């Protein structure tokens, strides 16, 4: 008997530990980046996922080890930080160990305990490396050339140095006012584009860190830097007056190359007035218009050790552009995708039009041969005239050139005549599908001569939608293309006409972006831009960053609610309170200012329901709804952060606004708002201003209004954001789907059947204005697909998808649907398909999470053949489940 008991115990021990052997922490990140360099945070955030595929998998405890020696960390020790066994399911921890030192590589590892209390295998060893940490650690000087900001050619800079000992490691730290490319011994360092990212240059300057160990040679080495203008030295003239920016100057940079030798000593090669400079073949570069390159001016080998720079001039010392130089801890901009030409039209030997088949943000690359001095003009546009030539009339309307030397979205490439030559802009991007080539001499081009490169912040995809309706699939694809086309270290409105950080567009698209892409680093950077731009009284501009334009127009709460809504949305998707605490004072000052301006609680400050189909709703109605949403968020954050007095204050203000709004706009007899337009009904429903007793009637009136409008949209961008969720949240998902699946004007599908690969700025394709073909301001439908049909929502009480709210809608007219989203804990899948009169619903819940499922009423629900009581919803643990609804 004892022997049998011992055998059974041994069997159970082996079985449990066999399972535990497959359990381990995975996907380790520091500050939401994988093994980052140049970390400036004194208390960086460390995160992971639980790798455990078992049903009901969860983490019951964790332990973290951090140190400067990987072998010590792998042995389960951490001289910098070693937590005790923390009884928690959290997968996010803030470093609380010894003070981090600059220029130091730290290794870290985590172990967890599983649902049975069994210790997991340790994670892989990951690392993070600190950067400057503070301004005083910079050794180099800020330098430029002697030219003023109106000089057009971009400057080269170079120096040489020698390494006398064996190099163990080397890091380049480069801060730039403008844009740059860095070279060591002729090799371009890194694959980033348009670094550093746009900020309010006189208030915050970004630096980037590179591991350049492999690029250094024994003995003599050469460093080369090429500077571009970017937003810092805006030489093009448009309605936003960027050329009048107070910070504007010739681009400048500061570089420290820190070398660690095998013997433990250090050396820093720095930028200084001893560097040499000359003008480059880039004769004009504008982030707003295009780039000009004269290959006859090439200086081969300018960034190598053997180049003769005797005729070059010494560099000039320049003042530091700001007193806040910080690390760019953001997913970089890259040329993410190569897009080949689909069709080529030849009009003549000197005139061709390339069609890359889709609308993108980015650049084109041309390869061509021709006579020396041949001038090739590459005009980039979104559409064609009827005669087949490129038409810029929909995207150049805000440009106000002073002459004809800087044509809009037209690169100019002058050939050297030295055989086959290639040109691709370095300091510009455009929005385009077509490229028209005009050359001063006959040239021969083929389809392969030109390629497009889709550029954007290289955020990892974390979402996917697939349905049985091809139009819905196209809408999801086009929405993502527009979102990415407008993500360049900050969210923009369009990649061609403006490239501006319009706040209203970003509110509309933020949840769409968060469902589809891992964008937290971009949004955290953009909220720092908000803090830089906010005036002492709380006012924000309508475009962020800005050179000064936007404080006087367009910046009411319907637009600049980004200050509250973006942090709240990021918190809901990631469960990380840091973005709330970082921006709390800014949200509070903003709300207080509106309260002072509009003491009644009704706010008429704003742009209103921009680009409506036909009906126009009062600005006061929509702006008050957004103001109410801001105050609601502020009260919630105050409660989370333990600010009791503020919570009381803003909860009271919230109630005041709600009462004032409903007293003026709600007709209690009819259950309608104002005139009962789509926007007037949907925005109060979506923003939570409708009293509970009236929600059903208001929602029913909205559904009737949509039916009266033949199940088509009659909204601008605010109503377009609200209407789909207002319907599906209140029992009318079928009505919302009818809107989403329309293929006639006005609808998203109308754009798709007319060939759109991105979202447009106007419902009317033939409108006289507001006709960019790559805008994100109607992009809220992307989030609705996950939420309104797939039913995937974060839980406010357990954010970051710690508990997943699932409210799938099996809408009439759709036979199959799948939405997947990878949150902080892992991949969530919500999918269903019809099988006769039944619906098969499959769901995957990642390890260490739970979910609450609410099914539509009127269905019998079965799990593994057994009926379920669904009155109060169904609570499930991690795992994969298959339900059948009849």
What would the 3-class secondary structure string for 760-772 be?
Answer: CCCCCCCCCCCCC
Closest to 192 in 3D by CA, of 221, 170, 172, 213: 172
Nearest by Cα to 467 from 820, 831, 833, 817: 817
pLDDT score, position 22: 83
Each residue of 777-788: pLDDT tens digit? 999 999 999 999
Helix (H) or strand (E) holding 156: strand 155-163
Q: How far apart are CA 516 and CA 210, in angstroms?
A: 29
Position 858 confidence tier, pLDDT thresholds 50, 70, 90 = confident
DSSP-derived 3-state class of residue 266:
strand
φ, ψ at 616 (rounded to 5°): -115, 125
- In whole angstroms, give the CA distance from residue 170 to residue 180: 20
Kindly provide the residue ranges of all beta strands, DSSP E only, lying in 262-298, ordered along the sequence.
266-270, 276-279, 282-285, 291-294
- pLDDT at res. 84: 97
pLDDT at site 6: 47
| pLDDT, position 870 | 85
pLDDT of residue 872: 85
Alpha carbon distance 770, 760 (integer Å)? 9
Q: Which residues pair with 274 in a beta bridge?
A: none
Would you say 805 and 795 are in contact if contact means Cβ atoms under 8 Å apart?
yes
Which segment of 11-20, 261-270, 456-465, 474-483 scores lowest on mean pLDDT? Answer: 11-20
Percent of the chain with pLDDT over 90: 96
Tell me what pLDDT residue 21 has.
56
- State how far Cα 400 lies from the chain centre: 29
Counting runs of H as helices and runs of E as strands, what totals does the chain give?
Answer: 16, 43
- Overall average pLDDT of the 820-848 stretch: 97
Which of 2-11, 325-334, 844-853 has the lowest average pLDDT?
2-11
Question: What pLDDT digit, counting tens, does each position of 621-673 carry?
Answer: 999 999 999 999 999 999 999 999 999 999 999 999 999 999 999 999 999 99
CA–CA–CA angle 782, 523, 845 (5° rounding)? 55
pLDDT, one tens digit per residue, over 178-195 is: 999 999 999 999 999 999
128-175: pLDDT as tens digits: 999 999 999 999 999 999 999 999 999 999 999 999 899 999 999 999
pLDDT in tens, 221-262: 999 999 999 999 999 999 999 999 999 999 999 999 999 999
Helix (H, G, I), strand (E, B) or coil at 483: helix
Which residues have CB under 8 Å from 448's CB, separation 6+? 340, 341, 367
- Mean per-residue pLDDT, 731-757: 98
Q: Are 23 and 114 in contact (CB under 8 A)?
A: yes
Q: What is the mean pLDDT of residues 318-344?
A: 98
Q: Where are the alpha helices (DSSP H) in 488-609?
A: 503-516, 520-533, 557-560, 562-574, 578-597
Q: What is the mean pLDDT of residues 313-341?
A: 98
Q: In whole angstroms, give the CA distance from residue 598 to residue 595.
A: 5
* Nearest by Cα to 91 from 575, 797, 805, 637: 575
pLDDT exceeds 50 at position 1? no
pLDDT at 17: 47
Mean pLDDT, to the nearest integer, of 68-72? Answer: 97
State the distance between the two ends of the chain, measured CA to CA, in whole angstroms.
Answer: 51
Supply the pLDDT for residue 20.
53
Contacts of 329 (CB under 8 A, 6+ apart): 31, 33, 36, 38, 39, 40, 41, 521, 525
CB 845 within 8 A of CB 878: yes
Q: Is the pLDDT of residue 19 over 70?
A: no
In the chain, % of residues over pLDDT 70: 98
Range 705-734 average pLDDT: 98
| Residue positions counted in the chain | 886
pLDDT reading at 15 higher than 80: no
In which band, very low, low, confident or very high, does the pLDDT at 798 lie, cut at 50, 70 and 90? very high
CB 303 within 8 A of CB 181: no
> Residue 7 pLDDT more than 70?
no
pLDDT above 50 (res 740):
yes
Q: What are the CA-CA distances from residue 462 to residues 79, 207, 317, 512, 573 (Å)?
A: 35, 28, 45, 11, 12
- The radius of gyration computed from the CA coordinates of the chain, to the nearest angstrom, equals 29
Inter-CA distances, 674 with 376, 501, 621, 679, Å: 58, 32, 9, 10
Please determine, for residue 13, whether its predicted confidence score (pLDDT) is greater than 70: no
- Output the average pLDDT for the chain: 96
């Amino acid at each position: 008997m004892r022997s049998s008991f011992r055998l059974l115990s041994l069997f159970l021990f082996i079985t449990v530990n066999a399972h535990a052997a497959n359990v381990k922490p995975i996907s380790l990140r520091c500050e939401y980046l994988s093994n980052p360099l140049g970390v400036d945070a004194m208390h960086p955030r460390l995160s992971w996922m639980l790798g455990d595929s078992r049903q009901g998998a969860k983490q019951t405890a964790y332990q973290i080890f951090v140190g400067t020696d990987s072998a010590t960390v792998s042995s389960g020790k951490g001289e910098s930080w070693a937590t005790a066994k923390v009884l928690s399911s959290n997968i996010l921890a803030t470093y609380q160990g010894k003070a981090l030192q600059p220029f130091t590589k730290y290794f870290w590892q985590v172990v967890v305990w599983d649902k049975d209390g069994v210790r997991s295998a340790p994670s892989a060893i990951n690392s993070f490396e600190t950067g400057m940490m503070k301004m005083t650690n910079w050794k180099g000087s800020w330098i430029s050339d002697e030219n003023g900001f109106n000089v057009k050619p971009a400057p080269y800079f170079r120096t040489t140095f020698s390494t006398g000992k064996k190099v163990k490691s080397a890091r380049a730290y480069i801060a730039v006012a403008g844009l740059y490319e860095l070279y060591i011994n002729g090799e371009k360092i890194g694959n980033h584009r348009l670094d550093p990212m746009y900020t309010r240059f006189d208030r915050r300057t970004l630096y980037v860190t590179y591991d350049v160990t492999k690029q250094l040679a024994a003995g003599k080495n050469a460093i080369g830097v090429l500077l571009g203008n970017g937003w810092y030295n805006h030489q093009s003239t448009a309605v936003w007056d960027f050329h009048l920016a107070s910070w504007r100057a010739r681009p400048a940079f500061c570089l420290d190359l820190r070398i660690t030798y095998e013997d433990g000593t250090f050396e820093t090669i720095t930028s200084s007035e001893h560097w040499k400079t000359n003008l480059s073949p880039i004769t004009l570069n504008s982030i707003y218009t295009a780039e000009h390159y004269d290959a006859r001016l090439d200086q081969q080998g300018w960034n190598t050790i053997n180049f003769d720079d005797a005729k070059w001039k010494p560099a000039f010392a320049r003042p530091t552009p700001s007193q806040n130089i910080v690390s760019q801890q953001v997913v970089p901009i890259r040329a993410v995708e190569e897009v080949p030409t689909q069709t080529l039209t030849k009009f003549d030997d000197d005139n061709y039009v390339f069609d890359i088949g889709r609308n993108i943000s980015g650049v084109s690359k041309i390869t061509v041969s021709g006579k020396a001095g041949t001038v090739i003009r590459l005009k980039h546009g979104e559409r064609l005239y009827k005669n087949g030539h490129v038409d810029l009339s929909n995207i150049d309307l805000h440009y106000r050139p002073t002459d004809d030397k800087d044509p809009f979205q037209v690169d100019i490439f002058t050939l050297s005549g030295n055989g086959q030559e290639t040109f691709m802009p370095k300091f510009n991007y455009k929005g385009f599908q077509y490229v028209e080539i005009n050359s001063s001499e006959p040239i021969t081009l083929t389809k392969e001569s030109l390629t497009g490169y889709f550029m954007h912040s290289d955020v990892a995809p974390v979402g996917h939608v697939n349905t049985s309706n091809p139009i819905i699939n196209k809408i999801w694809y086009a929405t993502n293309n527009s979102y990415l086309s407008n993500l360049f270290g900050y969210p923009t409105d369009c990649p061609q006409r403006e490239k501006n950080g319009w706040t209203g567009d970003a509110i509309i698209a933020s949840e769409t972006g968060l469902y589809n892409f891992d964008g937290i680093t971009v949004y955290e950077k953009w909220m720092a831009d908000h803090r830089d731009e906010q005036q002492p009284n709380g006012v924000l501009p309508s475009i962020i960053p800005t050179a000064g334009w936007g404080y006087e127009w367009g910046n009411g709460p319907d637009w600049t609610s980004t200050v509250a809504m973006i942090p709240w949305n990021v918190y809901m998707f990631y469960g990380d309170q840091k973005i709330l605490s970082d921006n709390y004072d800014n949200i509070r000052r903003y709300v207080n200012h509106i309260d002072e301006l509009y003491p009644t609680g009704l706010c008429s400050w704003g742009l209103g329901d921009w680009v409506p189909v036909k009906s126009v709703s009062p600005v006061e109605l929509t702006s008050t709804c957004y103001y109410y949403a801001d105050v609601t968020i502020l009260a919630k954050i105050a409660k989370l952060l333990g600010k009791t007095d503020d919570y009381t204050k803003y909860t009271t203000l919230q109630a005041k606004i709600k009462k004032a709004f409903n007293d003026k706009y709600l007709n209690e007899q009819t259950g309608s708002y104002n005139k009962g337009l789509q926007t007037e009904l949907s925005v109060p429903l979506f923003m939570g201003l409708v009293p509970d007793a009236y929600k059903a009637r208001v929602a029913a009136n909205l559904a009737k209004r949509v039916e009266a409008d033949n199940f088509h949209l009659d909204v601008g961008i605010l109503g377009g954001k609200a209407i789909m969720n207002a319907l599906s949240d209140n029992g009318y998902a079928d009505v919302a789907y009818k809107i989403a699946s329309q293929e006639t004007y006005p609808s998203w599908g109308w754009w798709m059947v007319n060939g759109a690969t991105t979202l447009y700025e106007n419902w009317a394709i033939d409108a006289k204005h507001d006709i960019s073909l790559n805008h994100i301001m109607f992009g809220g439908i992307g989030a609705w697909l996950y939420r309104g049909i797939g039913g995937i929502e974060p839980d406010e009480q357990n954010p970051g998808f710690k508990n997943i709210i699932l409210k799938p809608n099996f809408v009439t007219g759709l036979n199959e649907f799948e939405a997947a989203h990878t949150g902080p804990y892992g991949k969530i899948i919500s999918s269903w398909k019809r099988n006769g009169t039944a619906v098969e619903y499959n769901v995957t819940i990642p390890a260490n999470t739970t979910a609450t499922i609410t099914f539509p009423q009127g269905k019998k629900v079965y799990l593994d053949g057994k009926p379920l009581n669904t009155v109060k919803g169904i609570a499930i643990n991690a795992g994969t489940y298959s339900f059948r609804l009849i």
